[in-house]
Structure 1
Amino acid sequence: MEWKKLLCGERIRPISRHEGSKDLRSEFEKDYHRIIGSASFRRLQDKTQVFPLDQSDFVRTRLTHSLEVSSFCKSLGQNIARKIVTEIKDESFEASYQQDICDILQCAGLLHDIGNPPFGHFGETVIREWFKENLPKLNFELDSFGEGKTLSQILNPQMQNDFYNFEGNTQALRLVTKLHYLVDEHGMNLSKALLATIIKYPVSSLNVDKKSKDICCHKMGYYYADRELFRDIEYSCGLNGRRHPLTYILEAADDIAYRTADIEDSYKKGRISFDILLRELELRCYEDNSDKEYRSLIETLKYRYEKGIEHGVNDPGEYAVQNWIVAVQGKLIYQATESFASHYTAIMDGSFGQELLDGTEGKHIVDALGDIAVKYAFNSEPILKIEVSANQILSYLLDRLVPAAIYYDTDKKLRPIDLRMISFISDNYKRIYHIYSEGRPEDEKLYLRLLLVTDYICGMTDSYAKRLYQELNGLI
């Protein structure tokens, strides 16, 4: 892969000379302002990070998480670009690329969760499971298909697998390239380099292999509906089926942000204490005969606690945890930077199939933090109750919306209740459906109508989904 193509500033819809004649910003700086000014980005303030529908001003939302990821992305971009110039000395990497990389990564951090449905990753699970259960059972009767068939008999394998492997990452690409109706059907019309960076998994739903040693195959990266768009991005950036190098950096920044933030938020919510955190870290250190870096971080946590006492703070545990997390973040940023540099050749030729932190000293601490968060936060009663509620809310909405959508835009007359359910879906989303369904075969139109439902649900905030469910059930 070549940096000149990888940093492609072209857009799906070229900007006219008149539009850009007086604009001195780079293409990637323009991307940043398009994202920040979008309603889709603002809606992240009411989407779950760890604790759904939380009233605390401190606990993170998807918005604050995305801002943190964006910040880490920029820091990693600065470090890695400098290494490419001063140590790796790749002659094809021009000096101006350093700023471009930082701008692209900063934008990618803002966008990486923008397609997530309500209620976090559990929301994705609910959507996947609903379609696995219902696609083989829902009948569709139109003259063009003959006798009544189930949806799974009509949709081709990739169309079906798109729903069975539903992912917020995949939805992000769809949202920014189509659904966010800014000027036309091209969404935010962002640069192709940025779009390539947010495609974490450059495979279709037919090629997902969760057991593969190559992490790029673990999830799908694009819908059947967006296959032509994906090919355009892939060709323009010279990827040839491989992951964009900046995607590894985005993924590392996301891991660093959420692994450390989950611990801090769990402390604030009273799910873990200083003593619990220290005990869990020491337990893993003893069991795994951990490396020196891991042991030194444990000593740092103790030292920060002593400093808190010395400074006379009200809660030395909180003081220690917050300061320790900053130290951990710095260490992990360093580890990710070194890993990118040491695997530079494999990353650039597309043969690197791991996360940047795999095989580094930082891997142990990342895994430990993840285990602790699962044990004390994700498996806590309040979270489990919310997830049960989320399942009820999203399943109910899918139960009502999908039967209405499958006959929308067909000759079959909709029931009064179906007409009302369809009326709730954004006119912009329906406009996009009509633009992209024009001239398509009937099975693909049906598939696009199912996507219309998931588009609508993914655009909901946690509060809106809950409120709509309550209103439709007469609970308000």
Structure 2
Amino acid sequence: MVNSIDNRFLSTFACHSSKTRGRIYKDEPLILGRSEFQRDRDRIIHSEAFRRLKDKTQVFVYDDGDHYRTRLTHTIEVAQIARSIAKALNVNEDLAETISLAHDLGHPPLGHRGEEVLKKLMLNLGGFNHNVQTLRIITFIEKKYYNFEGLNLTFETLEGLIKHNGPYLDNKKIPSYILEINKLISVDLNNFPSIEGQVANISDDIAYLTHDFDDGLRKKLFTINQLREIKIVDLIIEKIEKKFPSIQYDILIHQFIRHLISYFINNIVSSSQLIINKNNFKTVDDIRNFDRNVVQLSPIAFKNMEQIRTFLFKNMYHNKSILDKLNKASLMIDKLFSLYNKDINLLPEQWRYLRGVPLSNLSKIDKSRVIVDYIAGMTDIFLKKEYFKFYKEED
């Protein structure tokens, strides 16, 4: 089935931009032959939150070196992988890319350690979750348009981000902010996302579980020989070395990462295509209402991915030197939160109000949420700069 707006043939079960369920608010007409999902992508790329990803931690903090991944480079790698998978499955590349580009907008400074601190600070005040924060950014925090808050993205993009980790099987565990969005644009929270949303989700795993090998080797957290304890890694490296016996170490690493990404992409495409062929999906709702993810790895490839995940958690994510550095830096978040709570005048002027109401007139929950919105938006570099405005370095 051809969709001229998407400018390519798409499967009937793909999300076609001409059939979008629309946006929360009425918007201006499209220009320059763009599709609805291309407009979403462009709004994300031009957002302040997207630009700030360049100085947000992926694994290593701001001053560790020039070549380590940041939240932005990770995001771009996810988008590239998602486009590759979407194209091979004949579904909407623009939508898969768009969801990928937006999926980490809500990450605070200092990566997952920064999130843990904010979660603790907001424990009895509504909590904190970077996926929900992404939705706050694109539906409320970004202020770019005169007739609505946020970026006013399509239903399909919002759905992919809301269901980043799949359907909500327990209605009691649905975050309150997602319920608020759902009142404005009804999303069935109990079924699966579109195939493009599923592509973006699995591309996230492929990206970080492969590029983190590169960063970990660069940081000397483990050696290539330790990596070879993982069967799929050993098979790939062995194949490369057999073909290029005198290959340089740095080129070997690059080629190994490249082949590992290709392995997972090819496996996902072939495994997903088998499910598609067997079930004869006709519409995007057939995908949503299926009893499991359509986009998935084969059992063997899934096992290989879990071995990689286990290795990285043991040798990288739980590395004491990394955690110590992040823990020390994360104290800045804690102290700034307390400082702003005591004196809202220390916040930039536009953050001292919520829709025109001074923070001092708000409930503790609402006041704290605004402060957390401000801190979560900071880059690692700005967090440090802001902290040293009020505290001496030795503190």
Q: TM-score, normalised by structure 2?
A: 0.83
Superposed displacement of residue 111, structure 1? 0.8
Letter in 2 for 1:450: S
**Residue 234 of structure 1 aligns to a residue in which SS?**
coil
Label 1:240 to 1:195 Cα distance change in 2 as closer, same or farther (>3 A).
closer
> Which residue of structure 1 lines up, in the alignment, with residue 367 of structure 2?
449
Superposed displacement of residue 298, structure 1? 2.2
Superposed displacement of residue 446, structure 1? 4.3
1: CA distance, partners of 2:118 / 2:72: 22
**Residue 185 of structure 2 aligns to a residue in which SS?**
helix
> Which residue of structure 1 lines up, in the alignment, with residue 261 of structure 2?
329
Q: 1:122 touches 1:387 (CA, 8 Å); kept in 2?
A: yes
Task: Identify which of 188, 198, 209 aligns with 1:248.
Answer: 198
Residue 116 (structure 1) aligned with residue 81 (structure 2): no
1: CA distance, partners of 2:393 / 2:242: 51
Count of residue correspondences: 369
Residue 470 (structure 1) aligned with residue 388 (structure 2): yes
Label 1:240 to 1:119 Cα distance change in 2 as closer, same or farther (>3 A).
closer
Counting only pairs closer than 5 Å after superposition, residues 50-199 of structure 1 correspond to structure 2 as 50-81=59-90, 98=91, 101-132=92-123, 135=124, 160=125, 162-163=126-127, 166-184=128-146, 185-199=148-162
Superposed displacement of residue 121, structure 1? 1.2
Superposed displacement of residue 203, structure 1? 4.1
Superposed displacement of residue 196, structure 1? 1.1
- Could you say what the CA RMSD is over the residues aligned between the two structures, in angstroms? 3.0
Residue 310 (structure 1) aligned with residue 228 (structure 2): no
2: CA distance, partners of 1:68 / 1:387: 24
1: CA distance, partners of 2:389 / 2:295: 46
Task: Identify which of 258, 262, 274 aligns with 2:224.
Answer: 274
Counting only pairs closer than 5 Å after superposition, residues 249-398 of structure 1 correspond to structure 2 as 249-278=199-228, 280-281=229-230, 285=231, 294=232, 298-311=234-247, 313=248, 315=249, 318-344=250-276, 348-353=287-292, 356-357=295-296, 360-398=299-337
1: CA distance, partners of 2:135 / 2:254: 34
Letter in 1 for 2:270: E
Superposed displacement of residue 384, structure 1? 1.5
Q: 2:192 touches 2:293 (CA, 8 Å); kept in 1?
A: no
Cα distance per residue 1:339-385 (max 9 Å; x no partner): 43344559725354569446522112211221222222223233122
Q: What 5-or-longer segments of structure 2 have no aligned partner?
A: 1-11
Q: Which structure has the bigger radius of gyration?
A: 1
2: CA distance, partners of 1:32 / 1:114: 13
**Higher helix proportion:** 1
2: CA distance, partners of 1:391 / 1:310: 44
Q: 2:109 touches 2:378 (CA, 8 Å); kept in 1?
A: yes
Label 1:110 to 1:4 Cα distance change in 2 as closer, same or farther (>3 A).
closer
Letter in 1 for 2:252: A
> Which residue of structure 2 lines up, in the alignment, with residue 224 of structure 1?
176
2: CA distance, partners of 1:385 / 1:420: 32
Superposed displacement of residue 69, structure 1? 0.3
Letter in 2 for 1:76: I
Superposed displacement of residue 321, structure 1? 2.5
Letter in 2 for 1:465: L
Q: 1:46 touches 1:62 (CA, 8 Å); kept in 2?
A: yes
Which range moved further: 32-41 or 66-75?
32-41
Counting only pairs closer than 5 Å after superposition, residues 7-26 of structure 1 correspond to structure 2 as 8=20, 10-17=22-29, 20=30, 22-26=31-35
Label 1:226 to 1:373 Cα distance change in 2 as closer, same or farther (>3 A).
closer
2: CA distance, partners of 1:365 / 1:66: 23
Label 1:339 to 1:448 Cα distance change in 2 as closer, same or farther (>3 A).
farther
- Give the fraction of aligned pairs with identical amino acids, expressed as a percent: 24
Q: What 5-or-longer segments of structure 1 have no aligned partner?
A: 82-97, 136-159, 209-219, 286-293, 405-417
Letter in 2 for 1:110: L
Label 1:110 to 1:78 Cα distance change in 2 as closer, same or farther (>3 A).
same
